[in-house]
Amino acid sequence: MAEESVPVKENTAVAPEIHEAAKKLLTRRFKFIRKPDDSLKRLARLGVERVAADMAAHPQRYREPEPEAPLPEVSPLDPLDILRKDHQLPALPQVFLELQQAIGSRSTSADDLAEIISRDPGLTAFLLRMVNSAFYSLPMQIDTISRAVTVVGVNQLSTLAVGTSVMSLFKDVPADVIDMEQFWKHSICCGLIARRLCRMSGKGDPERAFVSGLLHDIGQLILLQVEPERATAVHAHARAKDAVLFAEEKTLLGFDHATLGGMLLRKWNFPYVLVSAVLEHHHPKPGHKEAEPLLVHCAETLATGLGVGSSGEFFVQPPSPEAWASMNFTPEQMDEMVEDLDEELEEAFSILLDR
């Protein structure tokens, strides 16, 4: 990991001791990657450079929390019990429900969809900002939702609208439980990388890949919102044991956040491909007809390896050999994958996090 160096922009130059600290952190973060191929080794080196720059700019993010002694006890839980607590789950906005119904109807036209979206000024402004951003890089300015639907497509825009509407539902998670800005930065990064993988591989749909990545860790938010004590206790156990978070969730709770997230999206009548992408983002099933679960699985490895934001999971998950091989990664493609990513991330953060 330390043999080669990746060019760093002048504004990200850091002191040697910080760079060395970043190397140590990344070595630990990749501990479960037993036999990395050349592309994973390149990812680790890219991660060192990015984390070193962030460590220099934001040292407080890298202070290890004091270990809890003794560790709190955690009793198992049935995920269905969480989903039955409707009064504690976030309430879906009316525009979301109307969009879901419209998308499921064969008689819905582009004008119908545009009319529903236009009733929500916040969603309208957000979608117009997104369509006019580098996310699409369209050659013309789009100034109405009707035009956006025509240019981008009914299914694509509705997927984006429904998926991003979910972000506004989780404003009550306490800041001392999780840093929501860092959580969404990780999720947005995962979505953008899944979208890039979609285009690079020619598999899947770009908007579905983005929304799948954006929502892949939604199960964590539900667990933190409905069972904050249990959730924070599991995090404490994972940190103390140097264990992968989703594995510790299964051990202590009997299920992991991917299972809970998939069940929640199914309860909310999300399209099957989004449900399966969230449900399987740690363990994609072989032989999938849809590509999004594989794209999100690989994007999760990339986003965590690069150290963009934080979902609460410290370690880079070992990717499924079949899923990873299906992407045909090379070190050069890894460089291409992160080229101009910072610019795209910054613009996406400003649009999605300022809603």
Pair 157, 127: CB distance under 8 Å = yes
User: How confident is the model at residue 61, as a pLDDT?
Assistant: 86
User: How confident is the model at residue 318, as a pLDDT?
Assistant: 93
Whole-structure pTM value? 0.90
3-state secondary structure labels for all residues of 155-177: HHHHHHHHHHHHHHHCCCCCCCC
User: How confident is the model at residue 3, as a pLDDT?
Assistant: 37
User: How confident is the model at residue 151, as a pLDDT?
Assistant: 87
User: How confident is the model at residue 355, as a pLDDT?
Assistant: 63
* Cα–Cα separations (whole angstroms), residue 264 to 221, 279, 320: 11, 10, 24
- Tell me the C-alpha distance between 265 and 280, whole Å: 13
User: How confident is the model at residue 102, as a pLDDT?
Assistant: 82
User: How confident is the model at residue 10, as a pLDDT?
Assistant: 40
User: How confident is the model at residue 9, as a pLDDT?
Assistant: 46
Structural domains of the chain, with CATH: 34-59+76-90+170-355 (1.10.3210.10), 91-168 (no CATH)
pLDDT in tens, the chain (355 residues): 433 333 344 445 789 999 999 999 999 999 999 999 999 999 999 999 999 999 999 998 888 777 767 889 999 999 999 999 877 888 788 888 888 888 777 787 888 888 888 888 888 988 999 999 988 889 999 999 989 988 888 888 888 888 888 887 887 676 767 888 899 999 999 999 999 999 999 999 999 999 999 999 999 999 988 898 999 999 999 999 999 999 999 999 999 999 999 999 999 888 899 999 999 999 998 877 889 999 999 999 999 999 999 888 999 999 999 999 999 999 998 998 888 898 889 988 988 887 6
Pair 214, 191: CB distance under 8 Å = yes
